[in-house]
A and B are shown apart, each in its own frame.
Chain A
Amino acid sequence: MTIPCSRSWEVEAARDGRLTGVASESFGAHLSVCHSCKQVVDGLDSLARDLRTVDSANVDELSLRRLRSRVLEAVDAEQTGRVRIRAGRRGLRSRYAALALAAAGMGLVVFFSSRAPQQVAPTFVASQSAPPIVETRVEVSAAEGARFTRTIDGDEERFALLEGTLRLRVVRAAGGRRVLVTVPDGEIEDVGTVFDVAVRDGHTERVAVDEGRVLVRIAGTAPMTIGAGGSWDRVMVAELQTPNADAGAATSAAVSVGGGAAAPVRAPSHQSSAASASPLADREDAAYLDVLRLLQAGREDEARAAANTYLREFPAGFRRKEMTRIVRDH
């Protein structure tokens, strides 16, 4: 049994930087010959080593990337909120002016609505410089040239997209109103999410979901639910429906409809959340992680090339925006 050394208290003192100069040198010399103090040092080193191996601290790359999106979104939302608050603190004069304008506007609305036989929702045409329209519950960003109408009727808010691409971010409290995007050949119902809808020549081209999920009802296809990271693409559907396409692959996915009952669907080229465990999803994850590894290793040219490959192979991939940014910025 080792007899405790009277100087063993100095182990922690030296470790924590409390010993300096002569005292530190003296203890260093003592440590080289004192078995008891060496044991205390070893014990503390062992504790530090063990603490670093606590298994819950292992962090995987995908969790980090998901968290990154959440962080940036939260900060973005905070900053948007602050801008709104600042805007609300302008002087009384500007408030009165705004009130007067609002009253005049309401007067005009009442005047024209009494003359018009039927209320028609205005059609918006987005220009490059148009800022996103922001309301309490729904934020809409329209691509240049997009044409759409927006109407609120009781507990339902409806966007009729005639042409172009709309991006919607819907924040809905429980019991909040329904949000629907009607397209020439169907409709998309939001279930609390962020998603893009593109229409061209009277047909829905693409629905891509970043967060949450949406219910998609397009003429000629079975209703489907698309979850976060999933998308539905008309071109891909057409390719899979050709006789040469792999019928097994085309019918392998199942999507939930309405209340959530799963139903097999012919030609499900969308990448629903239900299909996220497919080999395709695995390959996409692997391609994505490959890009990250290259970036972390500082091999930016190779990372850019790998990101390009990702975009080519997975044009509707979950990380397409991030990959596009890497190609553009690195």
Chain B
Amino acid sequence: MRQPLKLVPPMKPAMDDADALARVARGDVGALGEVYDRHARSLLSFAARAVGRHHAEDIVQSTFVCAAKVASTYDARGASARSWLFGIAARLVQQRRRSFARLARALLRFDLAASSSPEGEARNDLQKGLLRLSEAKRVVLLLAEVEGFTCEEIATMLEIPVGTVWTRLHHARREMRVFYEETR
């Protein structure tokens, strides 16, 4: 059975995150640096898998800027800071992808999409397969299978029912399996 993966263990106790976010809410930008140091690497990896390396830094930057704005809403009794930050990043990925999809459709009319599509960034088959998934499915798949979040945690982060997470995950795995069979 899959065990929840903790690829990047927090360097300090969770209370430190809560304390740092409370200080961020009071306008202490340095405290955001502490939060960044603990979580940026895993967020950047997640974003790179989700949208490609080129756009990942924008996602992470927006995540922390957004986190600083809404730091006062973080409740340490609920989700961990890690899942709270991943929730922000995941939603930004989905928003970005929706914007990109609109742009890509517009560009297709001028036959320019090939050069600016995320497909162009795909470095291997697996990433191509990932990019073929809808953003909603891709985000859920990465959060569950790579970042090790439980379906309940993902549902909370994305503010969707847990049944929706199960469904998206099932379809994402099936599409990846089909992709594997096509390419091998």
- Establish whether residues B32 and A72, one from each chain, have CB atoms under 8 Å apart when the complex forms: yes
- Establish whether residues A57 and B48, one from each chain, have CB atoms under 8 Å apart when the complex forms: yes
Interface centre among A41, A63, A298 (most CB of B within 10 A): A63
**A37-60 interface bits toward B, Cβ cutoff 8 Å, 1 = contact, 0 = none:** 000010111011011111111110
B32 to chain A: which residues have CB within 8 Å? Answer: 71-72, 75
B72 within 8 A of A: no
**B43-82 interface bits toward A, Cβ cutoff 8 Å, 1 = contact, 0 = none:** 0111011001100110011001100110000000000000
A contact face: mostly helix, strand, loop, or mixed: helix
B88 within 8 A of A: no
Q: How many residues of B contact A (CB 8 A)?
A: 50
B98 within 8 A of A: no
Least Cβ distance of A37 to chain B in Å?
A: 11
B173 to chain A: which residues have CB within 8 Å? Answer: 12, 44, 47
A14 within 8 A of B: yes
The interface stretch among B13-21, B89-97, B102-110, B123-131 is B123-131
The interface stretch among A15-23, A97-105, A119-127, A168-176 is A15-23
Interface centre among B11, B69, B142, B145 (most CB of A within 10 A): B145
A296 to chain B: which residues have CB within 8 Å? Answer: 11
B48 to chain A: which residues have CB within 8 Å? Answer: 54, 56-59
Least Cβ distance of A66 to chain B in Å?
A: 9
A159 to B57, CA, bound (A): 35
User: CB < 8 Å: which of A14, A28, A50 contacts B126?
Assistant: A50
Q: How many residues of A contact B (CB 8 A)?
A: 37
- Establish whether residues A52 and B29, one from each chain, have CB atoms under 8 Å apart when the complex forms: no
Beyond A57-B46, A64-B44, A71-B32, list 15 extra A-B contacts (CB 8 Å).
A15-B1, A18-B166, A47-B145, A48-B146, A51-B146, A54-B124, A54-B127, A55-B124, A56-B53, A59-B45, A67-B60, A71-B40, A74-B65, A75-B32, A79-B29
B residues near A (Cβ < 8 Å) are: 1-2, 5, 7, 11, 27, 29, 32-33, 36-37, 40-41, 44-46, 48-49, 52-53, 56-57, 60-61, 64-65, 68-69, 121, 123-124, 126-127, 130, 141-142, 144-146, 150-152, 165-166, 169-170, 173, 176-177, 180
